[in-house]
Homo-oligomer: A and B are copies of this chain.
Amino acid sequence: MKRILLFLEFCGTGYHGWQVQKNGIAIQTRVQDAIEACTGRRSALTGCSRTDAGVHARCFCCAFDTASRIPTQRLPAALNAHLPADIAVLHAVQVPSAFHPRYDACGKRYEYRILNTPQRRPLEEGRAWHISAPLDAGRMDALAQALTGTHDFSGFCAAGSSVADKVRTVQQCGVRREGDIILFTVQADGFLYHMVRIMAGTLADIALGRLDPDAVRRALQTGERTQAGRTAPACGLYLDRVFYREEAYAWPIPTNG
């Protein structure tokens, strides 16, 4: 048996998230189906995190064990032939049998995309949160800096989360404008339930004057969800990268560039 780490890209629009659900189609199920079609056996498949319905990924990591003789470097093409158009394996590497895609991750980076145009844009449908009123990316970036560092992020966690320890370290975060898109990026050692979406919603609400600029500080200090802003919609969220200590799993996705 060998343990294989897969790097996936997916468009989450048509799915109820990564994890197998009672209702709705999960991305995990589709990848398990493809593995079974290629290897002849159904394998347990462990993801690097859960994702909400409608959330996208440019790099989602998951691992499975297999006795298949398909060379690892041929797995992406073999699996892609059995995956739907909205899911693909970009890369596959063999990892030690103790490797865990979730517990061995030392950080993740998310991107939140806001489409900031007077009218909605069909080519961004399901790919960004549309806000028509002008947003000041520079001001949002200044506000976002208060989120960096080690904090109890209870105020940026959806109610009902069962996680006990809500202290996380945000290594980097910022907001910039790229044409009509406002990009919020945040890298941390771990994320709470809805954390990035509440951060994005809070920064947008302050920029829109729906919330006072002190809300970020208050949500961090009080730990109260009610101090923060809206939960931004899932469609704007992208898991951008998963960081592992091992160099080989850091960012190995092959390109032609």
Contacts and interface: CB of A to CB of B under 8 A. Distances in A.
Chain A: interface residue count, which band?
Answer: 35 or more
A127 B177 CA distance: 23
A85 B125 contact: yes
A80 B257 contact: no
A116 interface: yes
A87 interface: yes
18 contacts: A9-B123, A10-B122, A77-B119, A80-B119, A85-B120, A85-B122, A85-B125, A85-B126, A86-B125, A87-B122, A90-B121, A116-B256, A116-B257, A117-B256, A118-B254, A118-B255, A123-B127, A179-B257
A4 B69 CA distance: 64
Most buried by B among A86, A120, A180: A120
A135 B85 CA distance: 23
A58 interface: yes
A255 B123 contact: no
A199 interface: no
A54 to B, nearest CB: 13
B88 A257 contact: no
Contacts of A256: 116-118, 133-135, 180
- This chain's copy number in the assembly: 2
A122 B11 contact: yes
A92 to B, nearest CB: 10
Contacts of A126: 85
Interface of A: 9-11, 56, 58, 76-77, 80, 85-91, 116-123, 125-127, 133-135, 177, 179-180, 254-257
Contacts of A91: 119
Contacts of A125: 11, 85-86
Given A85-B125, A122-B86, A122-B87, A117 B11 contact: no
Nearest to A177: B257
Residue from A133, A256, A257 whose CB has the most chain B CB atoms within 10 Å? A256
Given A86-B125, A116-B256, A117-B256, 13 more contacts: A11-B122, A11-B123, A76-B118, A80-B119, A85-B125, A85-B126, A88-B119, A88-B120, A88-B122, A90-B117, A117-B254, A179-B255, A180-B257
A37 to B, nearest CB: 17
Nearest to A120: B88
